[in-house]
């Protein structure tokens, strides 16, 4: 190992030691492959269209769309950030003018989930429909703050296989005037034998989709405390039904841990241009790792250790140009222009631990997110079988 690689590895280990919860990733019960060197992932502070810092949007999910990036806020964001898409220029990390709040379409208004989706939905992932760039899919997680369904709806959708209030797959469509309409919502059912468990705030947090419409959904943890990936097919008839959409276990090779929390909080679909093999790239938030998962089930999963740096803007000579973050909390990843892009969801409990330069403290107090990027490395996909 050369000197630079050694120094980067030492920095990474030091950063890992102070993050919460502790990383128990050394104890796994299945075979995985890991690169020996941790990789730096550089961040840019995300700014509003007027150049001010983006305030507490709690981004959850990231997609590549028309040469730009797009994200969505979860239910813990400040009200002005919720229920709208945020479009980001990847070159500058600057947002387009803030979009309007989602319109609520006819089918949603007449459905069982209208109150929740029109009030405080907790959106946790985002993908662009590969067959229609005006259509987006998102998914909900914790709905406990909204209250119960009506008696009739509760009876119809009680067998979720998971939480009392069902996880919802939601369809968004851009209208001719540029506004986004919430057109359809469909509840997800987990077969009991999948042993998902009842964890309202540890549910689906990542989504990815293949060119053919195969949707992958990443669960933070199941009854055994391990992350899982499920799948279902989005076809032309999918949104014509309001019945449960039942997922299947994707049966992918994921690390299984003896202790600790090791959720997947972001997911992206990738076809290696050289081998044409298909992969999922997963952000393991608590572990500061990227997992490279072969969807053909032929290769073992590679775990790539990462560390994240944030710029100290306008700090003068008082601080270094950048600092290694104690806790980044990645919750969205996307692929565009041979770059892997990531966005963080500031974890309010831990975000102030990142403050090393006093001049930048206000950014962390505002729970301002960063846009990170790293080049796609072809070596990630030459995985031993």
Q: Measured between alpha carbons, how far is 129 from 149 in angstroms, rounded to an integer? A: 29
**52 contacts: CB under 8 Å, gap ≥ 6:** none
For 218, list phi and psi in degrees, rounded to 5: -100, 120
In a domain, 25, yes or no: no
In a domain, 18, yes or no: no
Q: Measured between alpha carbons, how far is 358 from 318 in angstroms, rounded to an integer? A: 9
Divide the 385 residues of the chain into consecutive groups of 10 and give the mean pLDDT of each group. Answer: 41 38 48 73 97 96 97 95 97 95 96 93 96 97 83 95 95 96 97 94 94 97 94 96 97 88 96 95 96 92 96 89 96 96 96 95 97 96 70
In a domain, 32, yes or no: no
In a domain, 135, yes or no: yes
Name the residue range of residue 221's domain: 41-381
Could you report the per-residue pLDDT of 55-65, keeping only the tens digit for each? 999 999 999 99
Do residues 330 and 372 lie in contact, with contact meaning Cβ atoms separated by under 8 Å?
A: yes
Output the domain CATH number for residue 365: 2.115.10
DSSP assigned state of 29:
S
Q: Measured between alpha carbons, how far is 220 from 51 in angstroms, rounded to an integer? A: 34
pTM equals 0.90
In a domain, 133, yes or no: yes
Number of domains in the chain: 1
Q: Measured between alpha carbons, how far is 172 from 216 in angstroms, rounded to an integer? A: 18
In a domain, 34, yes or no: no
For 280, list phi and psi in degrees, rounded to 5: -110, 135
Q: Measured between alpha carbons, how far is 269 from 56 in angstroms, rounded to an integer? A: 28
C-alpha distances out from residue 203 to 72, 185, 188, 196, 384, Å: 17, 17, 11, 9, 31
Query: What pLDDT is recorded for position 10?
Result: 40
Query: What pLDDT is recorded for position 201?
Result: 84
Q: Where are the alpha helices (DSSP H) in 98-202?
A: 106-109, 114-118, 151-156
**273 contacts: CB under 8 Å, gap ≥ 6:** none
In a domain, 48, yes or no: yes
Could you report the per-residue pLDDT of 288-314, keeping only the tens digit for each? 999 999 999 888 899 999 999 999 998
């Amino acid at each position: 190992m050369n000197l630079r690689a050694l120094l980067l590895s030492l920095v990474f280990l030091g950063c890992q030691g102070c993050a919460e919860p502790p990383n128990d990733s050394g104890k796994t019960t299945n075979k995985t492959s890991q690169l020996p060197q941790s990789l730096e992932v550089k961040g840019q502070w995300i700014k509003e269209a007027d150049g001010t810092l983006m305030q507490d949007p709690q981004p959850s999910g990231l997609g590549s769309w028309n040469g730009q990036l797009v994200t969505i806020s979860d239910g813990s964001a400040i009200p002005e950030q919720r229920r709208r898409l945020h479009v980001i220029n990847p070159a500058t990390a600057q947002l387009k003018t803030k979009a309007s709040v989602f319109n609520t379409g006819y089918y949603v208004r007449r459905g069982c989930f209208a109150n929740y989706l029109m009030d405080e939905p907790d959106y946790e992932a985002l993908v662009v429909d590969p067959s229609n760039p005006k259509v987006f899919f998102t998914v909900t997680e914790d709905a406990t703050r909204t209250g119960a369904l009506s008696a009739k709806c509760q009876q119809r959708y009680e067998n979720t296989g998971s939480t009392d209030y069902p996880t919802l797959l939601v369809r968004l469509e851009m209208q001719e005037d540029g506004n986004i309409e919430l057109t359809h919502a469909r509840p997800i059912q987990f077969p009991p034998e999948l042993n998902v468990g009842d964890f309202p705030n540890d549910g689906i947090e990542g989504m990815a989709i293949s060119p053919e419409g195969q949707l992958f959904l990443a669960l933070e943890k199941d009854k055994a405390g391990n992350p899982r990936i499920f799948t279902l097919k989005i076809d032309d008839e999918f949104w014509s039904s309001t019945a449960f959409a039942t997922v299947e276990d994707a049966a992918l090779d994921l690390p299984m841990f003896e202790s600790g929390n090791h959720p997947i909080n972001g997911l992206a679909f990738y076809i290696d241009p050289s081998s044409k093999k298909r992969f999922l790239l997963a952000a393991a938030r608590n572990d500061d790792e990227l997992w490279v998962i072969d969807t053909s089930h032929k290769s073992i999963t590679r775990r790539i250790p990462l560390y994240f740096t944030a710029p100290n803007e306008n700090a003068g000579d008082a601080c270094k140009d950048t600092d290694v973050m104690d806790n980044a909390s990645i919750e969205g990843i996307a692929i565009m222009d041979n770059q892997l892009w990531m966005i963080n969801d500031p974890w309010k409990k831990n975000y102030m631990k990142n403050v090393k330069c006093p001049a930048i403290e206000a950014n962390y107090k505002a729970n301002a997110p960063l846009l990170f990027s790293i080049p796609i490395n072809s070596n990630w996909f030459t995985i031993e079988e």
